[in-house]
Amino acid sequence: MSIETYWLDSTQNTLIVEYPETFTIPEMMGVFEVGGAFMDSVDHPVIWIIDMRSVKTVPQKMLSSFPQMARHPSIGHPNMDLTIMIMNEGLVNRLASIFSTVYLKLEIVSDWDSALELAKRQIAVR
């Protein structure tokens, strides 16, 4: 199964990225490419909700790929808004916390309701 990327709804304010149990670094980098194209297609800020609750293992060299991810043009895209990650406790959560501390502030939550509430509040303050 591949990483799925799609708009939450027709307002195109929120981009959803759903990760499968396993993925590769090139697949993850592809999300940045696809997400950049989604953000290019609108003229307003885009919230990303990244659901990683299904992830069972992470690719080797995940941590060492963080600088390459952080340099990707989509991270600094003018339409990039809040990034929310839905995840369980464990290694993936720990890695996301490191990325958030060093490269890009991430809001980390444990369920869809919390993610949608954060997105709703962010849209309301625009």
pLDDT in tens, 15-59: 999 999 999 999 999 999 999 999 999 999 999 999 999 999 899
Please tell me the total count of domains within the chain. 1
The CATH number given to whatever domain includes residue 80 is 3.30.750.24
Give the predicted TM-score (pTM) of the model: 0.93
Domain residues for the domain of 34 are 4-124
Mean pLDDT of the chain: 95
pLDDT grade for 117, boundaries at 50, 70 and 90: very high
> At residue 1, does pLDDT exceed 80?
no
Long-range contacts of 108-113 (CB under 8 A, 24+ apart): 108/84, 109/84, 109/85, 110/86, 111/86, 112/51, 112/86
> At residue 72, does pLDDT exceed 80?
yes
